[in-house]
Each structure stands twice: as structure tokens, then as C-alpha cells.
Chains A and B, each alone.
Chain A
């Protein structure tokens, strides 16, 4: 669409929760992931692996993708998605704060948070989410700010 959206409508999205992502961690998956990014570190590809530092961040991307489904009420009282075409969303960037809590086989990681900002710059819409990933004990394993850019025609 990319038609002019009111600032008031954009503001309605800020603070809305992004659908949580659950990640059941399997040792085999940790190894496959580490190998897929070319890691050769035995800590990540050995018999008793821990997660590569970048692994949990994959949930943040899924959270960002899911946040495209978040809706808000427009002036006509209809629930409307901000993103009309997810194929028009490209990755913008992200910030990680690491913790000392290792992620390992058997952990259940929950990543949740909120849409923290929505900004239009030219023809592009920037969508930011602040998400925190915790293990089954409630320990924070990663804090992430991630953003995507929805290009012309996608919003």
C-alpha cells in the first residue's frame, strides 16, 4: 500500500506485544546451527554443545517477522496490519547484550517483548522490537533490539 499513514495510527503499534517465540533447544540442532554458520569451535559442535552466541538471536528475527502480524485499530474501527507484504521486509540490524547463562540441550527459550518504535523514512517503514530471551528458569540469556525495513509497496 505505502499510502500515507497517520502518525497517530503508527503510535498505536508502539508498546504492543510481539507474539512470543518458544525455542526448544536440542543438542543436535545446536550443532547443525553452528556448522551452518561455519563455526569449528568444539564448544558448539562437540558432543556436549552449548549454543553459539548468535543462536538465540534467531528467535529475535522470528519475533520481528511475527510482529508484522500485529494489528491496530484504524480510523474506521477496523483491525489493520502494519505490514501488508512480509516479502518486502528486509533485515535492518540488531543489538545484542549477552549474559553468562549458557544455552544447552533441553532448555526451553522464550523470546518476547514489544514493538518499540515505528518510523517512516521516505518510502520505507522501519519497525523496531525490543525482545528478551529467557530460559525455563527465568534467567535472561539474551537481550535484543532488532529492526526490519519494509520497503515501498509492503506497508
Chain B
């Protein structure tokens, strides 16, 4: 829960969540009763031109709301939230949620928020690719991502949590998958996409007037 004394205009709060997995997406599909095939069947999603399953938009939204709900905690409550989906989240993506306080009036803090997907493609060392992720294997890089300069390379300074998939003899997208969560600790240069998946505004009502 946020320390109310930290609720000031321009202050930002961030949380990293993930990585998204097919198992999580299936659990959400069951719990939410949203079993749209584009989320649970790579075959169907590919037939629709999506090159594999995408996470429910509502799952990313719920994850963001959970962060905001935890952030305000018992100090207040969520009053309203708007959102616009800007991009998809896929299995293997990390999600970064950012909350920025734009204005304060009495007991209300009005904020902007984003949920961005962090999609790993490869890890390289000395110019050689030493690790490839699903996004690279299934060509999840869009032309627009390159045009919009969303592809980033950075030296890994901390261990990276990632998802690996193996497929049965039918392969992707028709086959059955098995996923494992791994941790890459050997450093290198990570090539990834950083893209806004959601953006919007949110109002919180605090229990007492805010000092601003």
C-alpha cells in the first residue's frame, strides 16, 4: 500500500509482472469464462492471422487493476478507470505497469497508467545468438515495431526469467505444448520489444484529503 505522504503530482509508481504463460492464460479463460479460441488455441489463433495465441486483454487489464488496488490499499479505493488497448501481450512477455499522478483535488488523485509488454527475442554474446525465445521462433516481430523503434538491446545485468516451449510431433500451432520457466543468469545482450499494451486514466478516492 502506498504511503499517502508519497501521493504527489508527477510521482510515478511501477511494477513488473510475469512472464505471461499459456498456463496462466488457460486458467484465466476458465475463471473468466472467456474461452475465445484466439486465447487458448494456437491453431485457431493462427488461422485468424495472429501467429499464435494472445493473452486476453482483460487479463492484462485485471493485472493492472490488481496493482492499482494493492497500491491504494486501505488508504482509499478505486473510483473509475479508462483504458485503450494499444497492443497485444503474448506468452513469454513480461508486463510493466506504470502509474503516474497527474493531479490531486481534495481526496481524489487522478493518474495516467500504462501496461507495457516486454517481449524477449534473443540473447547474444560476442555477436552470436546464444538463446532464442518463442517470439523470434514464431515471428512475433511486427514491421510497425521496427518502424516505431520499439526494438531495444540491452546488456543483462540481472537474471532474466523466461518461458521455454516444446511441442509434440504435430508442432506449432496444431500440437500440444509443454512450458517451463527458466532463469538466464549468463548475461549477454538481450534483444526485446518494449510496447504499450494498454493506456488509460484512473481516479482514486482517498479516505482523507491529500496534501499536495
Query: How far in angstroms is the closest Cβ of chain B from A153?
Result: 8
Q: Say whether chain A's binding surface is mostly helix, strand, loop, or mixed.
A: mixed
Does A90 interact with chain B (Cβ within 8 Å)? Answer: yes
- A58 to B58: give the CA distance in the assembly, Å: 7
Do residues B56 and A36 form an inter-chain contact, with CB atoms below 8 A? no
Do residues B57 and A91 form an inter-chain contact, with CB atoms below 8 A? yes
Does A11 interact with chain B (Cβ within 8 Å)? Answer: no
- A65 to B34: give the CA distance in the assembly, Å: 9
Contact of A37 with B59 at beta-carbon distance under 8 Å, contacts A53-B65, A88-B48, A93-B200 already known = yes
Contact of A29 with B31 at beta-carbon distance under 8 Å, contacts A95-B80, A98-B80 already known = yes
Do residues B81 and A96 form an inter-chain contact, with CB atoms below 8 A? yes
- Give residues 25-58 of B contacting A (CB, 8 Å): 27-28, 30-34, 36-38, 44, 47-49, 54, 56-58
Chain A positions within 8 Å of B58 at CB level:
54, 57-58, 61, 91
Chain B positions within 8 Å of A35 at CB level:
27, 31
Contact of A37 with B63 at beta-carbon distance under 8 Å, contacts A58-B34, A62-B33, A87-B37 already known = yes
Does A73 interact with chain B (Cβ within 8 Å)? Answer: no
Count, A-B residue pairs, CB within 8 A: 100
Do residues A87 and B48 form an inter-chain contact, with CB atoms below 8 A? yes
Does B62 interact with chain A (Cβ within 8 Å)? Answer: yes
Do residues A93 and B65 form an inter-chain contact, with CB atoms below 8 A? no
Given contacts A41-B66, A58-B58, A95-B81, 7 further A-B contacts (CB under 8 A): A36-B24, A36-B31, A37-B66, A38-B17, A38-B63, A54-B65, A92-B57
Query: B residues bordering A, Cβ < 8 Å?
Result: 17, 24, 27-28, 30-34, 36-38, 44, 47-49, 54, 56-59, 61-63, 65-66, 69-70, 77-85, 88, 198, 200
11 chain-A/chain-B pairs, Cβ below 8 angstroms? A33-B31, A33-B32, A37-B62, A90-B54, A91-B85, A93-B83, A94-B83, A95-B82, A98-B77, A98-B80, A98-B81
